[in-house]
Structure formats: structure tokens, C-alpha cells
């Protein structure tokens, strides 16, 4: 049996069963132990599906186009990462690949894999392991850092070349809050309960 502590008066009680959308209230002081997100599965699933579409667009279309002396160069996320690697900036290339491609892809893919079947009243095989990886990937999903890097590079390049933001850049800008939203709506307790991890 799990226990929860009151943050206001330090009372410790056995974790009560709380329906979705409800709150557990401390009987001693009236403080809130915790809240259960309402419709967490539906909101998380909808946001994750939006994130998946934005992620595909962010990777499939040019990120930026440079025009220099009449020559136009298109850069995608992958080709930008590959260019960094070829320039010998291995650490930066690896970090960009991890934080903007691999971690978000895993986070989105595994969330869909775990939360999708729950919505359909089912349970994916290996859901417990998959959901653990979702939580593990989250800190590595740092696309905003990459975006800031891009903006800094743009300011430097602005005098040398004409820069046209591509569709992928806008998808990326939208992807950041969308992916953050999946974390905001996701109530891990409800997911653990549904996938039946009883350790």
C-alpha cells in the first residue's frame, strides 16, 4: 500500500482511491494531497498525435533556406546534423541528434504506443517498459535549446546570406509547446494503473 503526505501539515495517510478529475483532500487541515487529471488519456493522446504530425513535418521539410550569390541551399534537421558531423563537431552533432530527433521521436512514439491502447480499453505488450522509457526520454527532449542555437546562428548569418525560414521551422516552433503539453496533461499514476504495474 502506498502512502501520501500532506504538504501543508505533514499528515501521512494511505493513498486513497480518487476518481479522474477528483482531488484527495487532507482531513486534518483541508490541504490538497494530489489531484487526478480529468480525461488525461484523451488529452494526452490528442496532443501526442498532433506532436507526431508536427514532428514528421519538422523532419521532412526544409528548416531553413539560404540564398547566397544566387545559389539556394535547403537545410533539414537531418542534413544540418550531418553537416555538423562532417565539420568534425561530433559532440554538438550527437547532442543535436539526441535532443531534437531521437529523444522526441522516442517520446512521441512510445507515448502513442502506451496511451493509444489504453484509450481503446486495451494494453500494449511491454507497456510498462515503454512507459518507463517515456519518462526517461523526457529530460533529453530539449528542442528549445536547439531552437535558440538556430536563432543565434541566424543572427550571425544574416549579413552573409538571405535566409528564408522553412515550413519545418514553424512546425518545430509549434512542436515545442505541444510536446510540453503532453507532459502537462499526462497523469502517470493513471497510466500506471491502466497498464497494471503493481510493484
How many angstroms separate the CA atoms of 53 and 176, rounded?
A: 13
Task: Work out how close the CB of 11 gets to Zn ion at its nearest, in angstroms, rounded to a whole number.
Answer: 5
Q: Which of 16, 21, 23, 28 binds Zn ion (CB under 5 A)?
A: 28
Q: Which is nearer to Zn ion, 34 or 66 (CB)?
A: 34
Label residue 139 exposed, middle or buried (CB < 10 Å: 0-12, 13-18, 19+): exposed
- Does position 26 interact with Zn ion (CB under 5 A)? The reply is yes
Which phi and psi (to 5°) does residue 116 adopt?
A: -55, -55
Q: Which of 31, 116, 117, 149 binds Zn ion (CB under 5 A)?
A: 31
117-126 CB burial, b ≥16 within 10 A, e <16 = bbeeeeebee
- The pattern of x and - marking residues 72 through 91 that bind Zn ion according to CB under 5 A reads --------------------
Which phi and psi (to 5°) does residue 124 adopt?
A: -75, 145
Q: Which is nearer to Zn ion, 25 or 147 (CB)?
A: 25
Summarize as ranges the residues that interact with Zn ion (CB under 5 A): 6, 8-9, 11, 26, 28-29, 31
Amino acid at each position: 500500500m502506498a502512502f501520501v503526505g500532506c504538504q501543508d501539515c505533514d499528515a501521512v495517510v494511505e493513498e486513497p482511491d480518487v476518481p479522474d478529475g477528483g482531488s484527495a483532500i487532507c482531513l486534518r487541515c483541508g490541504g490538497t494531497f494530489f489531484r487526478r487529471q480529468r480525461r488525461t488519456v484523451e488529452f494526452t493522446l490528442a496532443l501526442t498525435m498532433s506532436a507526431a504530425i508536427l514532428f514528421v513535418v519538422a523532419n521532412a521539410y526544409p528548416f531553413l533556406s539560404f540564398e547566397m550569390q544566387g545559389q539556394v541551399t535547403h537545410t533539414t534537421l537531418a542534413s544540418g546534423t550531418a553537416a555538423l558531423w562532417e565539420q568534425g563537431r561530433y559532440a554538438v552533432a550527437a547532442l543535436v541528434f539526441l535532443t531534437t530527433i531521437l529523444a522526441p521521436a522516442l517520446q512521441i512514439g512510445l507515448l502513442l504506443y502506451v496511451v493509444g491502447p489504453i484509450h481503446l480499453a486495451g494494453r500494449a505488450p511491454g507497456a510498462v517498459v515503454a512507459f518507463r522509457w517515456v519518462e526517461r526520454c523526457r529530460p533529453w527532449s530539449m528542442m528549445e535549446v536547439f531552437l535558440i542555437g538556430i536563432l543565434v546562428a541566424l543572427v550571425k548569418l544574416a549579413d552573409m546570406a538571405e535566409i528564408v525560414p522553412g515550413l519545418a521551422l514553424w512546425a518545430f516552433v509549434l512542436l515545442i509547446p505541444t510536446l510540453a503539453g503532453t507532459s502537462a496533461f499526462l497523469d502517470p499514476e493513471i497510466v500506471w494503473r491502466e497498464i497494471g504495474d503493481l510493484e
